[in-house]
Amino acid sequence: METVVTRYLNLAVIFFLIALTQPAQAVVNGELYRACKPYADSGFKASDDGALVCLFYVRGVMDRSLELCSIGKLDDRFSALGKFGADADGLDINAVVQAFINDIASKPEDWKYPAASFVVSAAQKVAPCK
């Protein structure tokens, strides 16, 4: 008999895999950099639509990273998912925005690629899943 946790984990993995096929990664690095850079330069004050785009996008990707880390911690069978996530301890949205900006600013050749994996990488630098 399946436990509730196992059923939840199986459903979470299925939803995650389905989400990967969706066009949620339509924002590319260059667009996100142009939205996030003025926000960071202003001392992280959300004063325009670009800042909101930055915050909402980064927050959404961070939520997915946190979920992957949590699933990886709940059940050893899914521990590999943790390496794609970030830990809630020490994870700060402004730190993730700054890490993303620092990383992508020096890589204009990557500006045409979807931003999600680069934001996940920034989140992992700020708070790796333990």
| Burial class (CB within 10 angstroms; exposed 0-12, middle 13-18, buried 19+) of 12 | middle
Averaged pLDDT score across all residues of the chain = 84
pTM for the structure as a whole: 0.76
CA distances for 2 relative to 6, 11, 16, 76, angstroms: 6, 12, 20, 16
Q: What is the tens place of the pLDDT at every residue in 68-90?
A: 888 888 877 878 877 778 888 88
**How many whole angstroms separate alpha carbon 105 and alpha carbon 92?**
20
